[in-house]
Each structure stands twice: as C-alpha cells, then as structure tokens.
Amino acid sequence: MKTAGFLFTIAIPCFLLLTFPFVSAQPSGTTTYSIVHLSDTQNLATYYPDTYNFTFSYLESKKTQYNISAIIITGDLVNSWNKKTEWTAYSHARNLTTIPIYVTAGNHDTNWGKNYQYYSLYTGEPKNNYVTAVKDFNFVGINYVDKSLAPQEFAALQQAIKNGSHTFTIIATHYYMNKAGRLSPLGNDIDRQLIVQPTLILSGHVHAYFIRVKIIGGNPVIEDLTNYQNGEPGGPTDKNYSAGTLYTVTAVDGRVVKLTSEIIRIFPKPSIDNESVLYDITSQFSRSVPATVPAVGEPVQTQHVAISIENAGTVKGDRDDVFNFVKSGNAIINAGQSFWNFSHWFVFP
C-alpha cells in the first residue's frame, strides 16, 4: 500500500488511560442495531454442513438480543463453484435465518470470476456490482475480479454513492488487502475512487483477521479483513470453525454516529469479545454526551503505533493516511472532533 507523507512512530506513555465520561441520555431519534460480517465459509459447505447450519441458526437465535439487521458475506461460500452439494449446503444453511443476507462473490464461487451460473442460481445475486441501501448505509457490493474494475464502472459506483440517501458507506468485496495490510489492485482503486464519505470496507479471501482505521480525503475508513476458514489466527486451527465480526451501529435520525466491533465466535464454542469503538461522533448530537478526553489512571501496557501526520496539518496529502491498526477487543478510537487533529489517545492493553 502506498502511503503519502511521512510516518512517525509514537510511543504512547504507559501511565495514560483512555476513559469515557458517563452518558446520561441518548439523543432523540436514536436507534441501535447490529450487522454481522462473515466470509470464506467454504470449508463448512464442503466438510461440515452441520456447522454451516448452526452458523445461521445461531445468528437467528441472537437476532432479537443484538437486533441483528443484516448478515454480509464477502465471498467464497463454497470451495467448488460448480459443485451442487456444496451450494445445497449453503442454501439450506442460509434459509435457517430470517435476517436479511447480502452476498458478494468470491473466486471459489465463480471460477475466479469467469462463471456466475451457480452463484446466481443459489444466491439470487447478479454478476453485476451494485449500490443499494442497507439500514443507514449506502451499500456497495463488488464481486471478485482478478485485478480491478473498468474506470467507467468505478465512476458509476461513485456517482451512485454520492446520490445515495445516507452519509456512511459499506463496501463489501472479496479481495481488498492481504494479511500484511497491502491493498490489492482493486483495493487501491477503491481507495482512490469510492471513498467520498465515512466508509466501512468488508473483505475476506486472505487467511487472517484484523481491523485497520485510516483517513482518506478527510473521511475515516475502517478496513475489515475477516477470514476464519481454517480456525482463528493465533487460536484454535480447524476447518470445523465458525466466527465473524459483529458490528453494533448507533444512528441518530438515520445518520450513523457510532460504530463498534466484536469478534462473534459461533462454533465450536459460542462467545463474543469485548466491544471496540471504531467510530464515534455522538458528542456532536447531544450536549449530554461529552467529548472523550484523556485522563490519568492505572498503568496499562501500550505499544508503538505508526501514524501519518498529514491530517495534523504538518504535511499535506490527499489519501492513504495510515491511521492505526485495530485489533478487536483491545483498541478504542474516538472519532469525535479530536479525530481530525490527532488530539486523542490510543490505548492498547
């Protein structure tokens, strides 16, 4: 990934603790719901259809508790694009939930983008990429491509986002970046041409899991790589494993003001990690929600963080501002007024 500007490594003092003041009330018109991101569930289709079934029945059982309003799957639903038994396993499993499902195609689903016959038959989704509304988001679905899209298609997608009724975008695609965070050709073009408002990018393909936050053209961009097809990186390794990312969304009068994430482990042992705040502008909507400020507290373990200072006004740039790596469960980022001038703190227990 090409990064404009200079990168500095900032050591955060270990005596700092990020604290959040008590929130007395939410603004009127506030709604809260969840979105689940899954990807690369292909091994469940091939070897463990019972776990595939449990994945969706479990999410259905949590629908009310977490107000799960959408499941987004970023490709590789099956291992073999033309194997009917695998597609039948997917189809049977996804019918075990009433939660709306949004799917984009992976390379295994479409013979590396060459054949959409079975993918479209069993998912009902077209070969064409599209923009639609999902809750309070402009949703962009981009299917797997070997390299990237044609310029005219990017122009059409960009215009559709700008014409959308929402102020936050979700881009779902299969291959956006590798496990080192380096962008694919498609990923580079997405960053150059489709970031016109705050954006959450969901992807898979690579055997890894992390969330990264950066700034492009003044817009916060949250990049999610979720892939548990061989178990959990750094944890149990087994193809008979199911997990994803659970996003909790807070919206005020249809505008997304807060976004948090958690790992949602489904099989073999269901659990949900501690919540990490990725985006938060609630202070702009209610005086009862003060801006987050650093405070002195108990010592915590921290690590060095590479931060570009372009948006701090020292070096000017227009894209690829590396903001931070976020590992679910141990990082908090405030995206209020301080988000834009780097006056907040990062804490990594």
Structure confidence by residue, pLDDT tens digits, 183-206: 999 999 999 999 999 999 999 999
Q: What are the backbone angles phi and psi of residue 48, rounded to the nearest 5°?
A: -135, 65
In CATH, what number is assigned to the domain containing residue 140?
A: 3.60.21.10
In a domain, 2, yes or no: no
In a domain, 170, yes or no: yes
* Domain count across the chain: 1
Q: Token match 């979720």: residue?
A: 226
In a domain, 349, yes or no: no
> Do 184 and 155 touch, CB atoms closer than 8 A?
no
Q: Which of 52, 123, 46 is nearest to 85 (CA)?
A: 46
Higher per-residue confidence, 17 vs 153? 153
- Segment 255-259 shows an average pLDDT of 97
In a domain, 1, yes or no: no
In a domain, 346, yes or no: no
Dist CA 117 CA 299 (whole Å) = 57
Per-residue confidence (pLDDT) for residue 325, from 0 to 100: 38
Per-residue confidence (pLDDT) for residue 26, from 0 to 100: 63
Question: 268 preceded by cis ω (within 30°)?
Answer: yes
In a domain, 211, yes or no: yes
3-state SS of the chain: helix, strand, coil percent to 5? 20, 30, 45
In a domain, 44, yes or no: yes
In a domain, 347, yes or no: no
Q: What stretches of the chain show up as alpha helix (H) in DSSP?
A: 42-46, 49-61, 63-66, 84-94, 117-123, 151-163, 185-193
Dist CA 136 CA 231 (whole Å) = 32
Residue 16 scores a pLDDT above 50: no
- Segment 95-103 shows an average pLDDT of 98
Q: Token match 């990017």: residue?
A: 154
Dist CA 57 CA 34 (whole Å) = 16
Per-residue confidence (pLDDT) for residue 286, from 0 to 100: 62
**Residue 156 belongs to what domain range?**
7-340
Greatest distance between any 2 Cα atoms in the chain: 59
| pTM score | 0.78
